[in-house]
Amino acid sequence: MTKLQINIALDYRLDSPCALLVQLAAAATHNQTVDHCNLQLGPSDNRTVVPAHDGIGTRIWTQQSEYLTATYDARVSIDRPNPNWSNLAATPLAELPGETVCYLFNSLYCSIGAFDPLVSQQFKGLAGGALIAAMCEYLGAEMTYGSDSDNAQLSAQSSFAMRRGVCRDYAHILISMARAADIPARFVSCYAPDVLPQDFHATVEVFLDGAWHLVDPTGMATADEMAIIGIGRDATDVSFLTSFGSMQMTEQRVSVHRA
């Protein structure tokens, strides 16, 4: 079992009063226990807690006027194995559970058509976990980790064309390629101790052999050391902070270490 200590501090300035949707807290799941949690939002203390995407984790609505401050301190116990999924078979399409079907389709940042030719030519003869492993290896060889700008609006296709990106971009590209191969794939936001530089982390779940399996295409995190925040079709569904108005970041600190 892995125990993680998580400490977050955010400070954003708002151009005008607006609603904000916050998703910072690690989710309580069957293999992940939140032992301690203290989430503070201000300066206004109004908040409404709602379920997050697919019922994994929670979101908080809050209304703030001039600025938002947020602190999150938690200790999370993770009792999740780190299996070798590369030898697992793909689940036939006709046997997919209904809740996985939406993760076969295009989403805002993930276009299947943009990756169809690459998947059919580059990974010919591969299927299931072996195919996903080959995709991760390919991304490791083709992509450079890092960002020349703070553009969070890049699609998987644009990031891949640049051959450069951060964890969010790696996740979007792997999701797009997996969906192009008829494997359900979804975006996962999480905390992990060996992410460099320390920040919110993004990874992927793929549906193989009848179950979801965590895969980090950056190679920085393993399933047994990820504290999952939430899941979604792409980054749109699991943004740690969505402002329904204009805002500017003045401070953002993320610290995750083994307890």
> HSE on the CB side for 133, CA within 13 Å?
14
% of the chain exceeding 90 in pLDDT: 96
Indicate if the pLDDT at residue 222 is higher than 60: yes
Compute the mean pLDDT over every residue in the chain, rounded to the nearest whole number: 95
Please tell me the predicted confidence (pLDDT) of residue 147.
77
Strand partners, 206: 185, 213
Note the pLDDT tens digit of each residue in 81-136.
999 999 999 999 999 999 999 999 999 999 999 999 999 999 999 999 999 999 99
% of the chain exceeding 70 in pLDDT: 98
Note the pLDDT tens digit of each residue in 34-74.
999 999 999 999 999 999 999 999 999 999 999 999 999 99
Rg (CA), the chain: 18
Stretch 224-229: mean pLDDT: 98
CATH number for the domain whose boundaries are 2-79+240-258: 2.60.40.2250
Domain with CATH 2.60.40.2250 in the chain: 2-79+240-258
Q: CA-CA distance, 191 to 199, in Å (whole number)?
A: 8
CATH 3.10.620.30 assigned to domain 85-238? The reply is: yes
Note the pLDDT tens digit of each residue in 186-217.
999 999 999 999 999 999 999 999 999 999 99
Residue the block writes with tokens 């970041």: 249
Indicate if the pLDDT at residue 177 is higher than 80: yes
Please tell me the predicted confidence (pLDDT) of residue 150.
55
Q: CA-CA distance, 224 to 95, in Å (whole number)?
A: 28
Please tell me the predicted confidence (pLDDT) of residue 181.
98
Please tell me the predicted confidence (pLDDT) of residue 153.
79
Domain with CATH 3.10.620.30 in the chain: 85-238
Residue the block writes with tokens 């580059």: 122
Single-letter residue type at 180: A
